[in-house]
Amino acid sequence: MPALITHALDTQSDGGHLERTLELATRAWGRTSPNPLVGAVVVKDGRPIGEGFHARPGEPHAERAALAACSEPPAGATLYVSLEPCAYHGRTPPCTDAILAAGIARVVVASDDPTSKARGRGVELLRSQGVEVDFAGEEVARAARLLNQPFRKHARTGRPLVVHKSAITLDGRTATRTGDSMWISSEASRARVHEWRAEVDAVAVGIGTALADDPLLTARLDGAGRPQPLRVLFDSGARVATDSRLTSSAGEEAPVLVVCWPAAPAAARRTLAAAGVETIVATGTDEPGRVLAALDALGKRGVQSLLLEGGPRLAGAFLDAGEIDEVRAFVAPVVVGGHEARGVVEGRGVESIASAHRAVDVDVERIGGDTLIAARMREW
């Protein structure tokens, strides 16, 4: 990895331009997977002369978009970019080629690219051709990294970033003792969930939730701007009915994947296949192990982000597997009581408070009549 800073940065001007690259990058939020969010600004004689961002896969990267938008020749200018430039040919040509062809004198990068095919290569190439390359300080670098947590986790582990969503009462319950849970959260909170579904690659629930709620799991938004997420059902015995809303709506626009355990009947899997539902078998000695196997399989097919909406048993398996990266909990101002009412997370859990999973960052927001707590459990 290159040094964070190789030359002294002008904190005020460089920082301002780098912050602009982050603002530009967010314009494509939820539309670039499997590519990262990236923004770029070209500055000459202290004046921005071009800016751009990566809009979606297959379209120009941010650096090329910014260079193409320049109002005057960019030779001798500084290029600010939120992610280090690529030096390999994917769907589009290397950004380093465009930077060198434009005569850019200096490049300032907000964060590294953790993929093995990219990390450091573009920076080394540019420096070898006489281009000055600087990296931002930690504050801006962290902000840039947080923009691309799914991309970064997938690059480093091969697995998707997992966000666990729940709606709970003030006494920490997700349903009453009879199993009723509709609706704990407000209409505004449920609308927010549809926004999240439109931003992720996959949405997952367990068979318990599928049988109790018969969910559709689609992102019901106008102009979402991207395909429906892959709908993933963790169903150990492949016992979901083919006339459920989930399976009966399976198709290319809203695909469904059922994750089974090795003991799932072959006949049941064939029935699902005939209904257009793909199944995979997750191996492992216990539920957490099978969660890991399923996440590996999802990662191999390019899934970088997964919204986990399942019940407490599935959430417990993910937590025991160490695979919950973020928690988003809508806390409703109601109390249901009852020792048989279900909590948020089951599984083995930890043995002491000292060994509990602790958030590294927490945000709180009022939405409708609820309180949304978003807790980042780790950073990539």
Tell me which residues are annotated as active site.
Answer: 63
Structure tokens at 105: 């004198």
Structure tokens at 38: 């990236």
Is residue 15 a contact partner of residue 114, using CB atoms and an 8 Å limit? no
> What is the 3-state secondary structure of 293-315?
HHHHHHHHCCCCEEEECCCHHHH
Over its C-alpha atoms, the chain yields an Rg (Å, rounded) of 23
Nearest to 86 by CA among 56, 58, 117: 117
Rounded distance between C-alpha atoms, residue 319 and residue 315, angstroms:
6
Rounded distance between C-alpha atoms, residue 204 and residue 310, angstroms:
6
Q: Where are the alpha helices (DSSP H) in 207-311?
A: 207-213, 245-248, 266-274, 287-300
Rounded distance between C-alpha atoms, residue 88 and residue 251, angstroms:
34
Residue type, 107: V
